[in-house]
Amino acid sequence: MAATVILSPHQDDAVFSLWHVLSGPGEVRVVNVFAGAPASVRLGWWDAETGASDPASRAIERGREDRAALGLAGRSSVDLDFVDAQYRDGEPPTEAIAAALGASVADEALLLAPAGLGGHADHRLVRSAALSLRETGRRLALYADIPHATRHGWPGWVTNGQHEREPQEPSEAWRADLDGSGIALGELVARVHSLDDREAKAKATALAEYRTQLPALDVEFSLSARPEALRYEIVWQL
């Protein structure tokens, strides 16, 4: 069976968004795209938000946390050298990201890429690169970016207990996030995985390894007050 490769914009997105895949059967790999060490000594805005004092040290910490979290599912990651948006003045070419991804994964692998829901620039870049790889024959599915996709809550069809749904309309916020991408989620079948209590507890344990990131994300997305934000995970097959 071909491997499944999760294209994770940052060193935590795979665990946040696809724990049921990471903890499931089969060969699963993670490629962290924006995991490069910052060349600048200037502290990024998110680093400041999370209480960092030095970007280089924080990059090392984030890598260590990610290895610990993925290790709880028996998985590992490959880190690419692109730097996080908080350290950039512009955006790297989509072609460069696609080329790096293409060189990092086998041709027959199923790629799981972020849908870019929530508007994060890095997530949109990975989505664009993945879509360009699909045009070369690569197999691709998209996943809901957690917690970014849940800022305004889940659409009602996600939380009604159905794991397999007919094509469903995205929320208006999601529709705006997908503008110009060529993707119409309402025309795709969404596979919704609702984590059971055991899975939810294991995911929470893994997320707790992101000690430098989780407290700020909890505040930003009200995660403690909205446990359903982490309970559901969605994949759309293209």
- Give the pLDDT score at 168: 58
What sign has the CA pseudo-torsion 136, 235, 115, 59? negative
Shortest CA distance to 9 belongs to which of 123, 140, 146, 98?
123
Whether residue 145 is predicted with pLDDT greater than 60 in this model: the reply is: yes
The answer for residues whose C-beta is within 8 angstroms of residue 24's C-beta and 6 or more apart is none
Domain count, the chain: 1
**Cis preceding-peptide flag for 147 (omega within 30 of 0):** yes
CATH of the domain at 139: 3.40.50.10320
Residue ranges making up the domain that contains 188: 4-237
Task: Enter the pTM of the model.
Answer: 0.94
Beta strand 77-79 pairing with 28-32: parallel
- pLDDT higher than 80, residue 41: no
Helices (H), the chain: 13-17, 19-22, 45-49, 55-71, 94-104, 121-134, 172-177, 197-207, 214-221, 228-231
**Residue 194 host element (H or E):** strand 190-194
Using an 8 Å Cβ cutoff, are 223 and 230 in contact? yes
Give the model's pLDDT for residue 152: 87
Q: Is the pLDDT confidence value at 163 over 50? A: no
Indicate whether 167 pLDDT > 60: no
